[in-house]
Structure 1
């Protein structure tokens, strides 16, 4: 069997290819791209995380699939990629948060925790005998003065965003966020923006039973997940709003056609 040049560099995480790539890390990123879409949106008074769990069979109990996790009172995380890897990282993050509480008698900072998780992920790209984590995390929380939203990468890279998405639908979500995001959004508007992106990416097939929404506000400083009834309220609102917009566009298009004729 003839070996391709790439095969000599993708068998070990510690070997760079001649053009400076680590193929195992890139393969881990592909695992994230194949995962369900998770999104985070920062508002002036908090942060919201949204995930469509993408149920593939009506026999699956939707409650058994968890993609949004609480890490500390004021911090939550959403995942895309290998969920088992994400659970391991979430468990580690919870331990780090408790260590900080015991050591310093204060809640861990959102950025501090995100960097600790990224440092751990980076270590798995530097030593042989283990593979990188095949998951990306959105870490959302509130510090003393402002909400924070971080995206972590399988390589250990860390970026802070106002609004972002990970997973299969990232590109369509980012197009909507780039167009419609505003710095002075309140929490309700941030949730509606995330729901709007979910509606577009699923072509209108939103189901409250398969959506997870978690949020934390500066006022309450307590991360929580919305109940199915609360999610259904937002789903109904976004359906009505976007269907009305689509009908207006259709009417405008038909009137333009008539004018042209």
Structure 2
């Protein structure tokens, strides 16, 4: 009987277990933990997102492994977990940003955009016949001040100075705790983000990093030469 009860809680996306757990949400977090790591670092005037995006094959086309996506000219998003789930949430964020511009002629506030995406994620923890999204997002933006928000598969959000999701996230966060300072310039923020990825990934190759810098002037993809310069002699 105990095994049967366990399976019931296991399969029901909307059923709490007796100890108050939603197993499908926990499984979604496990999927996030299996994904390639993504890190974010908030500097004094900018935010950098960096993701490990190695080519699966030498036959893959250039640009096929892009993991950091621009949502608007002041917001970028990256996710760890199921790539298709991340893509759907990026599209949702882009639509929300476009609606703000069409209705009000203004850029959507970063916190408001994060809440809109988080609300959508939360709906899938209490909707029958659907599963939670198997991805966690880092949202980096600048709307007067730099902002970095994590969105969990449960729909929970939290703002961070530096954060990581995906495999090796704990090691990256330890690196950030040791090296973070509130007055980081752009180059130092990029360097710290790469240090975090280096801690999360064995034998990190800068050529396998997809990074975007978000400032008040917009989003800018960080080229490989700039990454190598910030990361020193590491490759």
TM-score by length of 1: 0.85
Cα distance, 1:58 vs. partner?
A: 3.0
Deviations 1:127-152 (A, max 9, x none): 101111111110000012x1000000
| 2:138–2:149 Cα contact (<8 Å) kept | yes
Deviations 1:187-244 (A, max 9, x none): 1111111112222333443132x210101113x2x11211233333334x1529xxxx
Q: Which has the larger radius of gyration?
A: 1
Structure 2 residue aligned with 1:246 = none
Structure 1 residue aligned with 2:129 = 129
Structure 2 residue aligned with 1:212 = 210
One of 220, 229, 232 as aligned partner of 1:233: 229
Secondary structure of the residue that 1:8 maps to in structure 2?
Answer: helix
Greater helix proportion: 1
1:85 matched to 2:85? The reply is: yes
RMSD: 1.8
Structure 1 alignment gaps of length 5 or more: 241-261
Structure 2 alignment gaps of length 5 or more: none
Structure 2 residue aligned with 1:160 = 159
Which structure 2 residues correspond to residues 246-261 of structure 1 after superposition, within 5 A?
none
| 2:228–2:234 Cα contact (<8 Å) kept | no
Deviations 1:117-173 (A, max 9, x none): 0000000111101111111110000012x1000000000000000000000010110
1:66 matched to 2:62? The reply is: no
| 1:196–1:238 Cα contact (<8 Å) kept | no
Cα gap change, 1:213/1:151 in structure 2, threshold over 3 Å: closer, same or farther? same
Cα distance, 1:61 vs. partner?
A: 3.3
How many residues align structurally?
A: 235
- More RCO (CA 8 Å, sep 6+): 2
Distance 2:204 2:110 in 1: 34
Secondary structure of the residue that 2:149 maps to in structure 1?
Answer: strand
| 2:206–2:224 Cα contact (<8 Å) kept | no
Cα distance, 1:46 vs. partner?
A: 0.5
Which structure 2 residues correspond to residues 1-261 of structure 1 after superposition, within 5 A?
3=3, 5-144=5-144, 146-208=145-207, 210-218=208-216, 220=217, 222-235=218-231, 237-239=232-234
Task: Identify the range of structure 1 (25-34 vs 191-200) with the bigger mean alpha-carbon deviation.
Answer: 191-200
TM-score by length of 2: 0.94
